[in-house]
């Protein structure tokens, strides 16, 4: 008849494995051994402490503006740990924890944040794209990487990170649509951290979930407790398996919270309450995972203490090395490098003129 | 008269223009509750309410597209694009629609919008926060482009831009935002778009600059006066489009020597256009080749090296001496 309801068969799952007290749903716990669990825990803790150190360094004027990751460690480590080093990592600008898991040297991250292009160098064979700052613009790149992996039959998947704000950008919609149309092995990992600078999630979009936006493009979308490392790991593992089986992309919405500032240039007290922050601090992803590891008998307080000390030393050493590197980088001429594979004559001339200017 | 920095001066213009015309709206990312990330729109939400001061979703193309429609509907939206480095997502809407609405509708509609965007290097910011790509907009017929050099002219030009019948891209130098204060009158003040001004008079050499480079030009002029006994005339362009060539033409016909300064890249930069106009209209008055002091043709380096990228007073002074050395 002229007016009928189409049953599209769409539903959005919401996944939690780990509760706030450290208890788990045994049916949903992913099959991960103790060593891997401890590696994930260490990466989260390292990211947190590194983030805190960078905030101190920024406040001291030693490094520049950066976007702290505090509170989002489980979303990032859980996702990256579910993939292999051959898979492609496409970050936005807040993926310090994911970068740490990928093995990006802390010195490189520090150098980048101290304003040196050298910090952005990507090691040979590393399947990472550089940090992308304009919101959401990196999303279609993961679709392209997925297409390339499929074309070359490498078995790799591409994962791209972005936030709730990015879902308003055209690139988000275009990237998802292309991925579905071409059935690419792409994982869209949205960290819904509730705030796009001062604009709250419910003023960003009227959709009840961000995950459901996937359905319009004909791909699965799942909402995950983003402060639950095991839930993120499980959701991304399942999505990666589908992608590797040729079943195409997935949108994973990690519901999490930006516990710190948008960037160090931001003052959140202008737009959100301390009570809200404290409520999310009680759901801190690291404390939650530590409770689980404690109940499991995998990690005790003494071990955490030793780990904290070791991580502190690792960060101290990285900052010392970075300072040494910075002292060797006061030559401005590298700004002429890497604009093209080979510098055109006019550019080489500009470099030479400037070099003579520096000498005189 | 009150001493104001450029942020406070721009904020004053917004308050006054919204007060005098209820078709003026302010919108953009973090413009309302947060008062803009640089606080240029501070207090507008409280004064004019959420129907006139809008926090938008993160979508630069959508924001300008929305503003084009608002303008066609009789409003005067003042858009803040958070950084000019994020404006390229909106370039399509500016080039394909804002610039052409009057032309395409044979004068029926006009995109009476102002697209404000912080630009330029010098504040230790991240990538995409330091560029000077005014040429993208200046190259587009139908758009006007304004780049103030201090609090007072920023306020007067923004008021004019809001009242202008055509779309205006308004570049605000981050390096100048809090660089200094000067007297900005509480009373309304405008300044014509498309007019340059002579900031310092002199008979020996003409320095042409705008935006964040203007203080550096003035510094070089001072050095040349003190150390070389040279009297430099300094022209502040203020608008790149329409480009007022009357003042620099008159000046160069008087001095015979010109140095053009901008932080935008050198190739196809504004200095190329200015140099061409001098060649067209003042060729026989020139006593020396025109000098350009500009940003290099490289992507603006991360902030540890951004000052090396930028023209400074020393480079401007050296170029002036080269221009002066020809007899």
DSSP code per residue over B98-120: ITTHHHHTTTS-----EEEEEE-
Same fold, B2-184 and B197-325: yes
Element (H, E) at A57: helix A34-59
ipTM value > 0.90: yes
Interface residues on B facing A, Cβ-Cβ cutoff 8 A: 29-30, 33-35, 37, 55-62, 85-86, 88-89, 124-129, 266-267, 296-299, 301-306, 308-309, 315, 318
For position B1, what pLDDT does the model report? 75
pTM for the full predicted model: 0.95
Partner-chain residue, chosen from A119, A203, A354, that has the shortest CB–CB distance to B55 = A203
> What percent of chain A shows pLDDT beyond 90?
96
Three-state DSSP state, A47 = helix
Digit-coded pLDDT (tens) for B155-165:
999 999 999 99
Contact B30 A197 (CB under 8 A): yes
- How does the average pLDDT of chain A come out, rounded? 96
Q: In whole angstroms, what is the distance from residue A291 CA to residue A23 CA?
A: 8
For position A1, what pLDDT does the model report? 64
* Side-by-side strand order, sheet with B144-146: B53-55, B24-28, B76-80, B114-119, B168-173, B144-146, B239-241
For position B96, what pLDDT does the model report? 97
Domain map of chain B by residue range? 2-184, 197-325
pLDDT tops 80 at residue B327: no
**Residue in B90, B138, B143 with CA at minimum distance from that of residue B112:** B143
Stretch B297-313: mean pLDDT: 97
Stretch A174-185: mean pLDDT: 98
Asked: is A13-329 a CATH 3.40.50.970 domain? The reply is yes
- Token pair of A150 as six digits: 């499929």
For position A237, what pLDDT does the model report? 98
Q: In whole angstroms, what is the distance from residue A104 CA to residue A127 CA?
A: 11
* Architecture label for domain B197-325: 3-Layer(aba) Sandwich (3.40)
For position B283, what pLDDT does the model report? 98
Q: Which residues contact A101 (CB under 8 A, 6 or more apart)?
A: A43, A76, A77, A80, A81
Stretch B174-202: mean pLDDT: 98
Residue A195 sits at φ, ψ, to 5 deg, of -140, 130
Q: In whole angstroms, what is the distance from residue A357 CA to residue A346 CA?
A: 16
Contact in structure between A133 and A66 (CB atoms under 8 Å): no
Domain map of chain A by residue range? 13-329, 336-360
Distance of CA A24 to the CA centre of its chain: 25
Q: Following DSSP, what letter does each residue of A19-45 receive, concatenated?
A: -TTS-B-TTT-----HHHHHHHHHHHH
- Token pair of A160 as six digits: 């791209």
CA distance B123 to chain A (A): 10
Beta bridge partners of B145: B169, B241
Cis peptide before B242 (omega within 30 of 0): yes
Residue B6 sits at φ, ψ, to 5 deg, of -65, -35
**Residue in B123, B146, B95 with CA at minimum distance from that of residue B310:** B123
pLDDT tops 90 at residue A228: yes
Q: Which residues contact A44 (CB under 8 A, 6 or more apart)?
A: A73, A74, A77, A97, A229, A285, A286, A289
For B2-184, which CATH superfamily applies? Thiamin diphosphate (ThDP)-binding fold, Pyr/PP domains (3.40.50.970)
- How does the average pLDDT of chain B come out, rounded? 97
**Which chain B residues are Cβ-neighbours of A335 within 8 angstroms?**
296, 298, 301, 305, 308-309
C-alpha triplet B310, B315, B321: angle, nearest 5°: 155
Digit-coded pLDDT (tens) for B20-63:
999 999 999 999 999 999 999 999 999 999 999 999 999 999 99
* A55-74 residues touching B, CB cutoff 8 A: 64-66
Stretch A163-182: mean pLDDT: 98
């Amino acid at each position: 008849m002229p007016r009928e309801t189409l049953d599209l068969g769409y539903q959005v799952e919401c996944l939690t494995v780990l509760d706030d007290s450290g208890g788990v749903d045994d049916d949903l716990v992913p099959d991960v051994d103790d060593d891997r669990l401890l590696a994930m825990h260490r990466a989260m803790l390292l990211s947190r402490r590194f983030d805190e150190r960078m905030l101190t360094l920024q406040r001291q004027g030693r490094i520049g503006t950066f976007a702290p990751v505090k509170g989002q460690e489980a979303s990032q480590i859980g996702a990256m740990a579910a993939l292999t080093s051959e898979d492609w990592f496409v970050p936005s600008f807040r993926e310090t924890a994911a970068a740490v898991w990928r093995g990006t040297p802390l010195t490189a991250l520090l150098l980048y944040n101290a304003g040196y292009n050298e910090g952005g160098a990507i090691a040979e064979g590393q399947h990472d794209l550089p940090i992308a700052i304009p919101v959401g613009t990196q999303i279609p790149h993961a679709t392209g990487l997925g297409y390339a992996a499929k074309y070359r039959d490498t078995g790799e998947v591409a994962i791209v990170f972005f936030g709730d704000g990015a879902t308003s950008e055209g690139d988000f919609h275009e990237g998802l649509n292309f991925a579905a149309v071409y059935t690419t092995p792409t994982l869209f990992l949205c960290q819904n951290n509730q705030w796009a600078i001062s604009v709250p999630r419910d003023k960003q979009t009227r959709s009840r979930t961000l995950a459901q936006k996937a359905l319009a493009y004909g791909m699965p979308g799942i909402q995950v407790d983003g402060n639950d490392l095991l839930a993120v790991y499980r959701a991304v593992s399942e999505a990666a398996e589908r992608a590797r089986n040729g079943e195409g992309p997935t949108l994973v919405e990690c519901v999490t919270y930006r516990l710190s500032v948008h960037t160090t240039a931001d003052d959140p007290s202008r737009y959100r309450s301390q009570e809200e922050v404290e409520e999310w601090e009680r759901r801190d992803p690291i404390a939650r995972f530590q409770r689980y590891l404690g109940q499991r008998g995998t990690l005790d307080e003494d071990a955490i203490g030793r780990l904290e000390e070791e991580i502190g030393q690792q960060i101290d050493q990285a900052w010392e090395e970075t300072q040494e590197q910075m002292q060797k980088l006061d030559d401005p001429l590298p700004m002429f490098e890497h604009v093209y594979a080979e510098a055109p004559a006019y550019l080489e001339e500009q470099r030479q003129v400037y070099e003579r200017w520096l000498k005189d | 008269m009150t001493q104001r920095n450029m942020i406070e001066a721009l904020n004053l213009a917004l308050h006054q223009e919204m007060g005098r015309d209820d078709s003026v709206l302010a919108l953009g990312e973090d413009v309302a509750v947060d008062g803009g990330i640089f606080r240029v729109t501070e207090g507008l939400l409280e004064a004019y309410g959420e129907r006139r001061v809008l926090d938008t979703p993160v979508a630069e193309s959508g924001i300008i597209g929305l503003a084009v429609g608002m303008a066609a509907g009789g409003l005067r939206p003042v858009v803040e694009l958070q950084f000019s480095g994020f404006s390229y997502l909106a370039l399509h809407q500016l080039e394909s629609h804002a610039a052409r609405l009057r032309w395409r509708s044979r004068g029926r509609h006009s995109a009476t919008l102002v697209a404000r965007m912080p630009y330029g290097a010098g504040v230790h910011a991240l990538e995409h926060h330091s560029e000077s790509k005014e040429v993208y907009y200046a190259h587009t017929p139908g758009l006007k482009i304004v780049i103030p050099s201090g609090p007072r002219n920023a306020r007067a030009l923004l008021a004019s831009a809001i009242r202008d019948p055509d779309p205006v891209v308004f570049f605000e130098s981050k390096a100048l935002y809090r660089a200094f204060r000067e007297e900005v009158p509480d009373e309304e003040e405008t300044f014509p778009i498309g007019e340059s001004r002579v900031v310092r008079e002199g008979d020996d050499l003409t320095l042409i600059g705008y935006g964040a480079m203007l203080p550096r030009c003035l510094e070089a002029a001072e050095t040349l006066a003190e150390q070389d006994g040279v009297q430099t005339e300094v022209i502040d362009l203020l608008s790149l489009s329409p480009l007022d060539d009357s003042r620099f033409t008159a000046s160069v016909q008087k001095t015979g020597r010109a140095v053009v300064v901008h932080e935008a890249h050198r190739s196809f930069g504004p200095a190329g256009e200015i140099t061409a106009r001098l060649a067209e209209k003042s060729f026989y008055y020139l006593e020396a080749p025109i000098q350009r002091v500009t940003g290099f043709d490289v992507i603006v380096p991360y902030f540890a090296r951004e000052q090396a990228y930028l023209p400074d007073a020393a480079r401007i002074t050296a170029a002036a001496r080269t221009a002066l050395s020809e007899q």
